């Protein structure tokens, strides 16, 4: 395992910003992080803004990511987006298994594993999101939940694939609540 990996600062814009707003925000972000050293930076704007933001990020060192990715190269998958489509607009990463995809949209560990496998197969870096709910944390299940999510997400992958993906810990109980995980919790 590569212990010299650079930390990743990632911003998932979710369902916020019009194309124009996204361009303005991306331009401001590029200026703001120009002197950030020792960190990788990735943003994942809404799909409608990917192409426009990709042009702004080109050559800046700020990476473009998709908020999700389908495991198939193409097909009749309404509302989904393929790795080829993401790469075409400049994406190098794709968020997979975000808690909202798991809890709101019912994505299963099996689907998340397929998304990771598809992203890797088609040359994107998957960002596997893991995290526990408040109820799971209070029940002392945090480590079991996280281990289960990692094992299921990475099922069938080779050890060498570890250098081609990112695991991101974001406790569900901290999303939109104003609460944050302490350094020790993370």
Query: What SS3 state is found at 167?
Result: strand
| Residue 98 annotated in active site | yes
Angle at 106 between CA 110 and CA 46, to 5 degrees: 100
Q: Which of 80, 135, 170, 183 is catalytic?
A: 170
- Residues 155-183: b if buried by 16+ CB within 10 A, e if exposed: eebeeeeeeebbbbbbbbbbeeeeeeeee
CA 43/CA 23 separation, integer angstroms? 12
| Residue 183 annotated in active site | no
Please, which residues have CB within 8 angstroms of residue 6's CB and are 6 or more apart in sequence? 38, 39, 40
Q: What residues are annotated to the active site?
A: 98, 170
């Amino acid at each position: 395992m590569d212990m010299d990996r650079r930390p990743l600062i990632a911003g998932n814009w979710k369902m916020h910003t019009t194309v124009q707003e996204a361009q303005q925000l991306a331009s401001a972000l590029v200026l703001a992080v120009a002197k950030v050293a020792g960190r990788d930076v990735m943003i994942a704007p809404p799909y409608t803004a990917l192409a426009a933001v990709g042009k702004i990020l080109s050559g800046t060192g700020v990476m473009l990511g998709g908020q999700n990715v389908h495991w198939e190269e193409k097909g009749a998958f309404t509302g989904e987006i393929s790795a080829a489509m993401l790469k075409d607009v400049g994406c190098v990463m794709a968020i997979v298994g975000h808690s909202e995809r798991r809890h709101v949209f019912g994505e299963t560990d099996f689907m998340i594993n397929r998304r990771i496998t598809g992203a890797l197969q088609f040359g994107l870096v998957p960002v596997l999101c893991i995290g526990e709910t408040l109820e799971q944390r209070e029940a002392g299940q945090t480590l079991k939940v996280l281990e289960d999510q990692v094992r299921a997400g990475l099922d069938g992958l080779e050890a060498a694939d570890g250098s081609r993906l990112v695991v991101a810990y974001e406790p569900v109980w901290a999303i939109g609540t104003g609460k944050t995980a302490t350094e020790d919790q993370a």
